[in-house]
């Protein structure tokens, strides 16, 4: 786990070398747009609700769909800009802005992926809240018939949803690189790539949250820098997964030939 995360961080700083200010500018612009459209999770895109049925509420689903549409376009712009920075310095900003619209299929595929992710996060947040409450009253519930089973049920569903979220985490990057791929094939490929690396990505998420919070406590600029680093590290993580997958396929062919 530590090795792939460390490699991803190292590769991310290689991508940032000489382009810190440019990449920070693009990422900050994207996050400002999210603030304006209120599509950041902290603004309520993904809300923790005490009423489970409100997750399927029409207004909530429309809010998630809008957030998914806006954030998917911004995601592809950020990834395209960072990727082009490693190869060219000319007109990459306008080229990155146009990329999701040139590849029109990304507009609905990206929206679908982000909608799925936000919906799962909504359910995870609600389960986390209920699980926390059940945990607080665990001793009391343990005295009641089925109390422990209910807690185990919540824990099992929560774990399954996290497993699915981590499994689909690479779909956006796959679609960016191969826009012609179908959504189902991209999801299958993402699950394949994430075999054995879910804990690594989960650890990276936890590290990112801690770093961003620490940066916010020290200076706001620190949080901004950590958000930029996180975006680049996630891209580097995908690229490292891809390299490892290709190495595994090559070794399989060599061993099969032998």
Higher pLDDT, 37 or 143: 37
pLDDT score for 85? 84
Higher pLDDT, 149 or 228: 228
Neighbouring C-beta atoms of residue 160, cutoff 10 Å: 10
Question: Residue 207 is encoded by which pair of tokens?
Answer: 């590290």
Tens digit of each residue's pLDDT (9 = 90 or more) over 83-130 = 988 776 677 899 999 999 998 899 999 999 999 999 998 888 877 776
Residue 180 DSSP symbol: T
Residues 6+ apart with CB under 8 A from 123: 55, 161
pLDDT band of residue 143 (cuts 50, 70, 90) is very low
The counts of H helices and E strands in the chain are 11, 0
Question: Residue 57 is encoded by which pair of tokens?
Answer: 């509420």
Question: Residue 221 is encoded by which pair of tokens?
Answer: 């600029």
Give the sign of the dihedral formed by CA 131, CA 132, CA 133, CA 136. positive
Torsion, Cα of 165, 169, 172, 177 (10° steps) = -150
Q: Tell me which residue has tokens 């919906």.
A: 119
Q: Using DSSP, state whether 86 is helix, strand or coil.
A: coil
pLDDT score for 52? 52
| H or E segment and range at residue 51 | none
Report d(CA 67, CA 173) in Å as an integer.
Answer: 18
Task: Please state the rounded mean pLDDT for residues 32-36.
Answer: 92
Tens digit of each residue's pLDDT (9 = 90 or more) over 232-250 = 999 999 999 999 998 888 8
For residue 218, CA distances in Å to 21, 181, 222, 230 come to 20, 43, 7, 18
pLDDT score for 51? 52
Question: Residue 153 is encoded by which pair of tokens?
Answer: 């049920």
pLDDT score for 43? 56
> What is the rounded average pLDDT for all residues in the chain?
84
Higher pLDDT, 85 or 146: 85
* pLDDT surpassing 50 at residue 50: no
- Do residues 232 and 11 touch, judged by C-beta distance below 8 A? no
Neighbouring C-beta atoms of residue 175, cutoff 10 Å: 28
């Amino acid at each position: 786990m530590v090795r792939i995360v460390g490699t991803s961080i190292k590769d991310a700083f290689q991508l940032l070398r000489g382009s810190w200010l440019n990449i920070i500018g693009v990422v900050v612009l994207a996050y400002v747009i999210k603030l304006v459209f209120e599509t950041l999770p902290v603004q309520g895109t993904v809300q923790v609700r005490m009423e489970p049925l409100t997750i399927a509420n029409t207004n909530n689903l429309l809010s998630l769909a809008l957030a998914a549409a806006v954030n998917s376009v911004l995601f592809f712009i950020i990834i395209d800009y960072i990727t082009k920075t490693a190869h060219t310095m000319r007109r990459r900003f306008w080229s990155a802005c146009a990329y999701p619209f040139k590849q029109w299929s990304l507009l609905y595929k990206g929206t679908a992926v982000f909608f799925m992710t936000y919906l799962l996060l909504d359910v995870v947040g609600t389960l986390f809240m209920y699980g926390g409450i059940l945990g607080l009253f665990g001793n009391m519930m343990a005295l009641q018939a089925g109390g422990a089973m209910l807690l185990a049920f919540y824990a099992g569903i929560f774990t399954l949803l996290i497993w699915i979220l981590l499994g689909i985490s690479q779909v956006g990057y796959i679609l960016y690189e191969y826009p012609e791929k179908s959504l189902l094939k991209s999801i299958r490929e993402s699950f394949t790539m994430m075999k054995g690396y879910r804990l690594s990505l989960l650890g990276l998420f936890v590290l990112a949250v801690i770093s961003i919070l620490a940066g916010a406590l020290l200076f706001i600029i620190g949080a901004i820098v950590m958000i930029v680093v996180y975006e680049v590290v996630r891209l580097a993580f995908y690229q490292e997964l891809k390299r490892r997958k290709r190495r595994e396929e090559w070794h399989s062919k060599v061993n099969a030939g032998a």
